[in-house]
Amino acid sequence: MTKTKDIRLMKGNEAFAEGIIRAGCDGYFGYPITPQSEVLEYLSAQKTKERTGMVVLQAESEIASIHMVYGGAACGKRVVTSSSSPGISLMQEGFSYLAGTELPCLLMNVVRGGPGLGTIQPSQSDYFQTVKGGGHGDYKMIVLAPASVQEMYDFTKLGFDLAFKYRIQVMILSDGAIGQMMEKVELDKQLPRLTDEEIIKKYPWATTGKTADRERNIITSLDLNPAKQEIMNRKLQAKFKRVEENEVRFENIHCDDAEYIFVAYGSSARVCEKAVQLGRAKGIKVGLLRLITLFPFPYEEVARLSKQVEGILTIEMSAGQMVEDVRLGANGAVRVEHYGRLGGIIPAPEEVLNVLEETFIKTKTYA
Amino acid sequence: MLDTVPITKEEICKPENLVYGRTPLMTDATLSYCPGCGHGTIHRLIMEVIEEMNLQADTIGVAPVGCSVLAYDFLNIDMQQAAHGRAPAVATGIKRLMPHKFVFTYQGDGDLAAIGTGETIHACNRGENITIFFVNNGIYGMTGGQMAPTTLPNMKTATSPFGRDIETMGNPLKITELIAMLPGTYYVTRQSVHTAANVRKAKKAIQKAIEYQKLNKGLSFVEIVSNCNSGWKMTPVESNKWMEEKMFPFYPLGDIKIPK
Ligand SMILES: Cc1ncc(C[n+]2csc(CCOP(=O)(O)OP(=O)(O)O)c2C)c(N)n1
């Protein structure tokens, strides 16, 4: 019996929207912003209420969106919001509250260039904001970096799974190119949404109404007693450590015999993959470490490769953010340089290969 | 001196003599509010109504930032603590995903009418089927008595030490009248809890607001003009008198919008 696959041509943003529906999402709250408006548009056109019972609501702002997410997540529901850089900046207080209350939810940022209103063109300059915090307090969120429309789809289910496994926020850090481009996507079967009874069983912490058989459930990040607040923070840190130990994801492309490697994620990783092909055709032993999780960051893999290669070039459409983590991983074992384009420009494969050659090969000195 | 045997405490405290008890929907925790503050009474009224309507298992409350941020310590129901001003958005998220639950927010004036104005107006305008309890004490109580959007003209606060100058500091905001104009609100009323008679009226209003949520007709909004004797720098008795003399003329009590 041949199984026919459900394959469609979709934009990254649409694939994300279809992905959350099929992964059993209960509610999406969002506010329009280019280049991710297709998410809310697609969901609105899908009549999700009839399709799966999923709630879709256009909020009055990104601030409202993230706090609607908070309310839903605290009830044990699978909730999502997405935006692009300026809107994500507005949500930071909400992210911090979600972290402090350990609420699971799925977030997505189709990054555009900044600072300020910046540009609607793709960028990767929100790495620091996403990976290093953004909101106040000591917290982390799991960050997944899709490099294809298929991954925009796949990471929705993965994102929900991780979010509920750890009671943590999961951010899909995309960019204007991945969000807007069209590629074929293989879709999975619709997963059922959980019933209220299932939620009560699976997530006993959720605010579902206090029944006689349990104490009241309170979702709060407040504790005015410093000793208790420290214990709470230590508990959070222990969780982030568990995530670091178990959830690192990356892809090695031609790294086995590489003398030089690119480190990149998202759109830049696609550029680098092409540059690796071009380099190999020229006889340069070059590989690519493609990051899939940005938190947790694959420090160990960077450390391992640092001992093998003669140079690392990070490619990121930023002034050099992710490179700081690569340098931490390399810990001085090898020279690590950054190359990036700003303001919404995607570098070309020839361009980044040329930078690699200029930086590490042509300047090579033999002692 | 009367020639009778005094009645002992044990003789009085008998079940058959009980005429009024504390609702089990209030926890045993000692209220952390200043003596004389209205929050305790308002908490109790809401919990009594929820108990009487048998809604404990169906209620989810939202307490944002302000003096009542710790309301969940006292209310024996499931609760969420929301960021400053965002309770109506949080409640929207809850109610949209759990439409059969009774969802309420409990907000101060700074929370509801300054930092959270957007969320308040839009939740009201969308006609979310939630209930908002709005405690208007004309001041930022929790942070030490700064000027609120509802602070009266010439009223002295920590950030208007010479009185609120409406030329430079703007006018007090009658947010309740404003939201009553929105088609999404179903029942809008202004109450107080500073006398026994007002407590009874306020309780009736709370009952109605909760009943109306069941009808799915839109948002019910109960403002309670209350005192902040600490922030106002008055004794509790003085503050209640001041409330009657100054607050009520500007914020008149009574129903503002009733179902047709
Ligand atoms: C984003 C943010 N800004 C400011 C504060 C500080 N803050 C805490 S409570 C409060 C005022 C609350 O006043 P109100 O809502 O009137 O409630 P009350 O304390 O009078 O009951 C402020 C400004 C905060 N917690 N979060």
Across chain A, which has 367 residues, the per-10-residue mean pLDDT values are 86 98 98 98 98 98 98 98 98 98 98 96 98 96 98 98 98 98 98 98 98 97 96 98 98 98 98 98 98 98 98 98 98 98 97 97 69
| pLDDT reported for residue A133 | 85
> Does ligand 1 come within 6 angstroms of the Cβ of B253?
no
Whole-number Å distance, alpha carbon B206 to ligand 1 midpoint, is 24
Query: Could you tell me which residues are beta bridge partners of residue B82?
Result: none
Quick: pLDDT tens for B153-207: 999 999 999 999 999 999 999 999 999 999 999 999 999 999 999 999 999 999 9
Cis-peptide into A35, omega within 30 deg: yes
Q: Say how far residue A85 (Cα) sits from the centre of its chain.
A: 13
Size of interface A-B (CB pairs under 8 A): 127
The share of chain B scoring above pLDDT 70, in percent, equals 99
pLDDT band at B117 (very low <50, low <70, confident <90, very high): very high
Please give the number of the atom of ligand 1 that sits closest to the Cα of B39: 21
> Does ligand 1 come within 6 angstroms of the Cβ of B85?
no
More confident site: A133 or B245: B245
Burial B149-179 (b: 16+ CB within 10 A, else e): bbbbbebbbebbeeebeeeeeeebbbbbeeb
| pLDDT reported for residue B247 | 98
CA-to-CA dists, residue A100 to A91, A224, A230, angstroms: 14, 14, 12
Distance in Å, alpha carbon of A113 to nearest chain B alpha carbon: 27
Cβ neighbours of A71 in B, within 8 Å: 62, 80, 82, 89-94, 97
What does pTM read for this prediction?
A: 0.96
| pLDDT reported for residue A365 | 59
Quick: pLDDT tens for A84-113: 999 999 999 999 999 999 999 999 999 999
Contact A139, A96 (CB under 8 A): yes
| pLDDT reported for residue B2 | 60
Residue B1: pLDDT above 80?
Answer: no
Residue A188 identity: D
Q: Which of B175, B168, B141 is CA-nearest to residue B154?
A: B168
Quick: pLDDT tens for A28-75: 999 999 999 999 999 999 999 999 999 999 999 999 999 999 999 999
Domains and CATH numbers, chain B: 25-257 (3.40.50.970)
Residue A282 identity: K
Domains and CATH numbers, chain A: 6-196 (3.40.50.970), 252-361 (3.40.50.920)
Please give the number of the atom of ligand 1 that sits closest to the Cα of B231: 20
- The length of chain B is 260
Does B94 lie at the interface with A, CB-CB under 8 angstroms? yes
Place of tokens 């950054």: A338
Whole-number Å distance, alpha carbon B112 to ligand 1 midpoint, is 10
B78 vs A68: CB contact, 8 Å cut-off? Answer: no
| pLDDT reported for residue B21 | 87
What is the C-alpha to C-alpha distance for residues A222 and A232, in angstroms, rounded to an integer? 10
| pLDDT reported for residue B135 | 98
Burial B30-61 (b: 16+ CB within 10 A, else e): ebbbbebbbbbbbbbbbbbbbbeeebbebbbb
> Does ligand 1 come within 6 angstroms of the Cβ of B140?
yes
Question: What's the DSSP call for residue A318?
Answer: S
What is the C-alpha to C-alpha distance for residues A101 and A206, in angstroms, rounded to an integer? 11
| Sign of the Cα pseudo-torsion (A20, A21, A23, A24, in order) | positive
Whole-number Å distance, alpha carbon B84 to ligand 1 midpoint, is 6
Q: Write the DSSP string, B144-161.
A: TSEE-TTPPTT--BTTBT
Quick: pLDDT tens for B19-37: 888 999 999 999 999 999 9
- Name the closest-CA residue to atom 12, ligand 1: B66
